[in-house]
Chain A
Amino acid sequence: MSFDAAVLRAQFPIFLERINGRPLHYLDNGATAQMPQSVIDAVSFHDRHARANVLRGVHTLAERASEAYEGARARVASFLNVPETEIVFTGGCTASINLVAHSYGSLLHPGDEILLSVLEHHSNIVPWQLLAERAGLAIRVLPVTDDGRIDVAALPRLVTERTRLVALAHASNVTGAVLEVAAVVDAAKAVGARVLLDGAQRIPQGPLDLAALGVDFYAFSGHKAYGPTGVGVLWGRGEILEAMPPFMGGGSMIGRVNFAGTTYAPPPRRFEAGTPPIAQAVGLGAAMAFMADLDWAGVEAHEMGLTQRLMDGLGTLGARIVGPRGLQGRVPVVSFVLDRIHPHDLAQILDQHGVAIRGGHHCAQPLMDRFDLPGTARASIAPYNVAADIDALLDGVEDAKRRLA
């Protein structure tokens, strides 16, 4: 295999769009990545030829829908190197984390502790705060280093005998820093705690071997992985899922319903009450197939080349990087700030250049407080990005400085 960004880019019809009279330079992949034609086609094909509910009907369309849905589960499982029975489809990464907070969380006891970090997305903070309120748990928080990494050196101080779950971002949606997973797993296992990783920003970077990673739960969303919105994945170790009670009740998740006492289906169906996001899951399956075919060594070299080009250019323009300055242990997500220019204003001006970035607190307000910032500008790079995208962003930053600084 070899990697050619221009060839890949041609698979994404969104790049035929013009924004404010200019080519689209999409650098907001950390919020939502674009979908290749193969994914768009898979969703469309499903709705035209196989639209029906799953795991219920016996007619032809129902058979097709169930096959497509379970086929998608198999593709996700293969991408993560785990059994299909451990893959739960949800509405998104947030829904996946909330599922664990409600279901696994119901097994915890007053005084138990959950360990988070300062750089977590609100989706990996608020569900635990709600659980802590409900169940009388305590939340402890790992600090963040000056270069935007979770400070694993603080693990011995913050992991205690009462720690039951460590829930951390595999990669920061703000700084791009990748977690030192082994250190976290070692510390957690030493006290018998489970580890959940929020993989929303890591999953677009290629296949994983979750069993080898040593974690217990992994959550991500489809739309950041070149798939549709409205679908996400929760992976959990089989024996842990087996011990967890249902989160939502409804159709599909039952064994037998009886007013004397209802029994529940085994995982993953136990956690997929009601009609699941079928077409979206099929699209995610297609996205997994798309990703599985990429030359990931080539992708990484390409993305890191663009990341370096971006950080060099921003440095020349006087921007301050919020996160690791180097390429080691990071994903191609780059946050930065400029003197006297608010990130929203920068993002608005960049839009006039056809450049899409994200400006704001990125649903990571504790991290903003850590760095005493109202927000950052964030460019997040995908395999289909090219040098022209980075250069357009840098031109836009120069324009913003001319107009606002």
Chain B
Amino acid sequence: MSDDLYQQAIVALARDASHAGKLEPAAATAQRDNPLCGDRVTLTADFAADGTLSEIRHKTRGCLLCEAGAALVASHATGLNAAKAAQAGAAMRAWLRGEAVQGLWQGAEAFAPVRPKKSRHDCVTLAFDALAGLFETRS
């Protein structure tokens, strides 16, 4: 695995447009800002009858790591409930801090070069915060 922060896997993830955009109407919208850098992630989602997330889109205005984090979240979010979404966020944060964790999402290892760059962790996890917010705001 390359230690280059901007290795191809992260660039490709950031440029992945498969879940980009906005659901209209959406059952829930969650927007999170990073006050330090101004990055913003807006997630819109619908939910299945059992409360799991059924469809998601992300609109991201931020750095490449923020975009890649949002793409990662959007690609894994379908089928999650609130607890699993929270677990995913906690696992990602712990892993970035250098801890060994269970249940890290496939593709998250592309962010390994970010682990020693503490100032950039929030770029990656902003979308995880927004994901948790979706479950708080769903109608």
* A contacts, CB < 8 Å to B: 342-345, 348-349, 359-361, 365, 368, 374-375, 403-404
Contacts and interface: CB of A to CB of B under 8 A. Distances in A.
A345 B6 contact: yes
Contact of B11 (A343, A344, A359, A404): A404
Interface string B22-56: 00000000000000111110000000000000000
Given A344-B37, A403-B6, 8 more contacts: A342-B63, A344-B120, A348-B6, A360-B36, A360-B38, A368-B38, A374-B61, A403-B11
Contacts of A359: 37
A345 B37 contact: no
Q: How large is the interface on B (under 10, 10 to 19, 20 to 34, 35 or more residues)?
A: 10 to 19
B38 to A, nearest CB: 4
Nearest to B67: A342
Contact of B64 (A360, A361, A375, A404): A404
A375 B38 contact: yes
A404 B6 CA distance: 8
A365 to B, nearest CB: 6
Contacts of A404: 6, 11, 64
Contacts of A368: 38
B134 interface: no
A361 B40 CA distance: 12
Contacts of A365: 38
A345 B63 contact: yes
A135 B40 CA distance: 32
Given A360-B36, A365-B38, A375-B37, A344 B6 contact: no
Interface of B: 5-6, 11, 36-40, 61-66, 117, 120, 123
A349 B37 contact: no
Contacts of A374: 38-40, 61-62
A239 B123 CA distance: 49
A342 B38 contact: no
Contacts of A343: 63
B39 to A, nearest CB: 7
25 contacts: A342-B63, A342-B64, A342-B66, A343-B63, A344-B37, A344-B39, A344-B62, A344-B65, A344-B120, A345-B6, A345-B63, A348-B6, A348-B120, A349-B6, A359-B37, A360-B37, A361-B37, A374-B39, A374-B40, A374-B61, A375-B38, A403-B6, A403-B11, A404-B6, A404-B64
B67 to A, nearest CB: 8
Contacts of B117: 348
Output the residue of A345, A359, A403 with the most chain B CB within 10 A: A345
